[in-house]
Every structure is written in C-alpha cells, then in structure tokens.
Chain A
Amino acid sequence: MNNKPVQAAIEGWFTLDTDTPHLIGACCEKCGTYYFPKTLSFCKNPACDSTTFNEVELSRQGKIWSYTNACYKPPEPFVADEPFVPYAIAAVELEKEQMIILGQVVKGVDVDQMKVGKTATLVLETLHEDDDAIKVTWKWQPIAQGESA
C-alpha cells in the first residue's frame, strides 16, 4: 500500500463512503424517471416535459442481468496494470429504478462465480493509480446465496 489520497475516478458519480457507497443519479421531479449519470437538462420520458430533477442515491443492490469479462487490454483511455490482469464485468438490474447499470466486477471474481438473477452489491475499488492519487470507481460484488450485504 501507499499513502496516496483516494479520489473518485469520475467526480460526482458516486459517494466516497467506503462501507456503503452509492451511485449518484437523478430522479425527475415530475414523472419519477431515474437517470445515471445524473447530468441532464430535459426529461427523456416522451410523455414528460420536466426540466427539474432531484439528485438521488441509487440502490446499491440489484440482480445480475448478464456478465462477461475482458481477456484483452482495452485501448486508452483505459489505464491497464502491467502485466494486464483480466477482469469481469456485470450488468446489474436495479429493481426500484428499473434500469440496468454496467460496471466492472471486484477483483478475484470471474464469470464462473456469477449467474443471471444472482444478487450483486455496489462497492468501491481501485480503477487505476496515477502519480498523485488512487482513482477508485464503483464495481459490482456478487453475493453468494444466503450471504447478506
């Protein structure tokens, strides 16, 4: 470990609360449609003409919609470890928000430990380090049957 400060890889997209982090989304004041990321000016529900939104913390648990992994190093702007270590990816469906959000899966978990419909929880983990800081992002952590978050 080192003493570099921990920073959000993308500022304002999630809370930096290490125990119970949340993605920061938006909710339309008029129709209740959720958005992630939150940056928007006009509601995208075709039946809604709202321009006002509340910042909200999205559910930090959902069901796995699907999953895969990255066996090859992605191009920039991805910052890869040397040597490159493959990682898993999950698309997780949030029940209350009725939307699917993609993200990497925590280190050490591969596709054989996931299943469509399995529960996953949002955690923070390092995306990459630069000279000044450890950049963290949200990742999904699958939860085994019977285990609680």
Chain B
Amino acid sequence: MSQDIAVLGVGMHPWGKWGRNFSEYGVYAAREALKDAGIPWQDVQFVSGAATMRCGYPGYVAGATIAQALGWQGAQVNTSYAACASGSQALAAARAKILAGECEVALVVGADTTPKGFLAPAKGFRPEDPDWLRFYLGITNPTYFALYARRRMDLYGDTEEDFGLVKIKNSENGFTNPNARYKKKFTMEEILNSAMVADPLRLLQICATSDGGAAMIVSSMEYAKRIGKANAVKVAAVSTVTPTFASAVVEMPDIATDSAAAAGVEAHSFRAALPKKAYEQAGIGPEDVSLAEVYDLSSALELDWYEDLMLCPRGEAAQMVREGATKLGGRLPVNTSGGLACFGEAVPAQAIAQVCELTWQLRGQAGERQIANAKVGITANQGLFGHGSSVILKK
C-alpha cells in the first residue's frame, strides 16, 4: 500500500515583526491553503496545529485556537510541540491519521508571534534546569552554532568567506520571495564587516526570530483523485526520529553530551539520522533530490546539512557553495526560499514553510525563484536537544 499523501494546498502569511496575535497569521495562512486546495473549510476533518510556547495558553493548544478562529465546524483536533520540528510533527500526525483511514483531509498549521530582544530563561536560582544553567555560565544560542562552524574551519578548511557565500546565495534567493522578511542582497564586504557575535559567526550570519504563519491542506490519494487532483505533489516521508544514544553532538541547551563509554554504545550524530530515516521511508536516495530546504540557523550550519543530507561527502560542502552548485540554476539548489537568512525563525511555522516552498517548486509555481525540473525535494531542521525533522516531497 502506498504511504503517500497528497498536498492539495499550501499558504503562508508573510514573515515579519508584525506584533499581532499568532492566530491571525495562522488563520490567514490556513485560508490561503484552503483557497489553493479549492476546498471549503467545512470539509476539513482534522486540524493538526503546531504549538507556540510564547503566546500563553492559546499557543499551547494552537490547533484548537486556530480551528476556533476559522469557525468551529466539528473537526478532530491535535496540537504538537517539538521546538523547531513542531510543524513536521503536526504534519506527521495528519499523515498518520490519513493513512490509518481515520480522516481523508486535514489542515496542518503553525504560527508564531515572537517577543523583542533576548529569550531569557525564567528567574530564580535553578541550576537543575539546563537552559537556566547554560545562560548562568555564559553560553547562549550562537555559542552552539559557532562551535559547529569553527569545527568545520579546523577540520575541513572552511573559511569565513565560505559562510559568507551561503548568506549571499540565500539573500539573492529570498530577494523576490513575497513571504520573506529580509529582502536585501548582501555583499561579502557587508557580511564580513558586520559585528562579530560568536567567533567565527557575525551578526549577518545568525538567524533572527520572526512572526509568521504557514499551512497545508493534505489528503489521502483517493480523496485527491475524487476532486480531480490526482497529480498533486505528494508527501513521501516525514522523519521525526529521536537521536540514538550516545548523542555525541553538543546541542542546546545541554552543557555536556551523552557519554559513549559503555560497552556496545557508539557515538551518533542526531542530525545525520533525520534524513536517513526520511530516505528510507520514501524509498528515495540523495541522488534523486532536485532541491533542499535546510535550517540555516547560521550560514555555516547550512553546510553541515549538505553533508547530513548526503548531498556530498563529509567535509566537502564548502566546495559545493564555492562552485555555485546550490544557487538557483545550480545542479542542486538549496534554500530557494531564501531560508532562515531571509525569513528569521517563526518556530512552529518554519518546518511547514519549508514544505510550502518545496510544493511551489515541484508544481512550477515558484515565480522568479523557480528551478528547472524539480521532481523531489527534501527538508531538514533541528531544534532543542536533538528535536528535528526531515520531510520528502515528490511529484
């Protein structure tokens, strides 16, 4: 039996710092997706929301909050939280329900409103909370991104200019994207002259936080056929695997990794495990991939993903960006949307936004960002302590 489900519609609310209620962005994106799918809201049987932790109780039950705002119509509801992978877990819940025959058509939606300034942990003296502890010791989010980046420089000879090339590429890609927040083509000079935050990463190489919303209407293949959309783009895999002990990459918010000292225990990279499972599910290999949307929390992290997605051998990602292979028009475009570099992160919406971009590309509707012959797309993202996801779409 086919494990595919159809993507009938996608929609987004533009990213920015709008300061409005998150559910407004969610409803806007959901209505766009419904319009794109050509089905009425009342026909949706399952609402799968991605939660936000920054908007109080309505955010914890985002699926219901957005369903209520769209107008209660008796659909089944679910809300998922998995940091940056929340949107993919919401998609996984919809896919499971569709494949189990419990519903035919579902709305997957995520939206966020982000506060200004630093995200500081709750007050008090709380060393038992690793997130509190690392801030007390002076270890912030960019610390982790910078550790990964520096390791690339020392092991593989990557340079600050290589990371700059990633930023330039993404800023060129996002320049014409109507949903992107930052629409400016940066030069190498501007990037390398921006303030150093966590050596070797500068301000223009680290992603910001944004408001935004993204939504999808997904259905069984049978339903898609019935409404004349048998040729819809398909979700071929949703991987949300946990890391495998011993998780050997130091990851937010921990100050130590697992120990791999016990007999029979090997060190693993959680990042590499995510796409592996997705390829396995889809029965598709990295050689089949036409484009990828990856989590460029920093410009350097994008390069780690090329290798984790097996788009090139370990240590050779910088070569791909130097050759222009991952630009629009290159042999394997990455972050055609502009990526986090042009969006900033709207946590519960981001993984869904990645899938929206793949959908537009596979349909040939990406406008000036359109790449040629897109057949298979893959996403990858990561969040706190090893949460992550990878989704594969195919024509």
Give A contacts to B, CB under 8 Å.
9-10, 13, 28, 31-37, 39, 44-48, 65-72, 74-78, 87, 89, 91, 96-104, 110-111, 115-117, 127, 137
Contact = CB atoms under 8 A, between A and B. Distances in A.
A89 B148 CA distance: 13
A13 B136 CA distance: 14
Contacts of A110: 199
Given A66-B151, A71-B195, A98-B267, A32 B261 contact: yes
A98 B247 CA distance: 11
Nearest to A96: B261
A9 to B, nearest CB: 7
A110 to B, nearest CB: 8
Interface stretch (B34-42, B223-231, B252-260, B370-378): B252-260
Contacts of B123: 76-77
15 contacts: A31-B265, A33-B258, A33-B262, A36-B255, A44-B245, A46-B245, A47-B262, A66-B154, A67-B147, A77-B121, A89-B138, A99-B257, A102-B143, A116-B150, A116-B151
B132 interface: yes
Contacts of A78: 135-138
Contact of B261 (A91, A99, A102, A137): A99
A31 B261 CA distance: 9
Contact of B143 (A28, A45, A70): A70
A31 B262 contact: yes
B146 to A, nearest CB: 4
Interface string B303-319: 00000000000000000
A56 to B, nearest CB: 11
Contact of A68 (B120, B135, B199): B199
B135 A45 contact: no
Given A36-B255, A74-B140, 20 more contacts: A13-B127, A28-B262, A39-B128, A46-B245, A65-B250, A66-B147, A69-B198, A71-B199, A74-B135, A75-B120, A76-B120, A76-B123, A77-B135, A96-B261, A102-B143, A103-B137, A111-B200, A117-B154, A127-B138, A137-B137
A101 B254 CA distance: 9
Contact of B136 (A9, A37, A99, A111): A9
B258 A44 contact: yes
Interface in B188-223: 195-201
Contact of B255 (A48, A65, A97, A101): A101
Contacts of A76: 120, 123, 135
B245 A45 contact: yes
A41 B261 CA distance: 19
Contacts of B120: 75-76
Contact of A70 (B198, B200, B264): B198
Contacts of B150: 66-68, 111, 116
B49 to A, nearest CB: 29
B263 interface: yes
Contact of B146 (A65, A68, A97, A115): A68
B256 A102 contact: yes
Q: List 7 tightest A-B contacts by C-beta distance, closest first.
A: A68-B146, A116-B154, A34-B259, A75-B120, A66-B147, A99-B259, A31-B262
A46 to B, nearest CB: 5
B306 to A, nearest CB: 19
Contacts of B132: 77
B342 to A, nearest CB: 23
A35 B148 CA distance: 22
Given A9-B136, A77-B132, A32 B143 contact: no
A62 B145 CA distance: 21
A89 B264 contact: no
Nearest to A116: B154
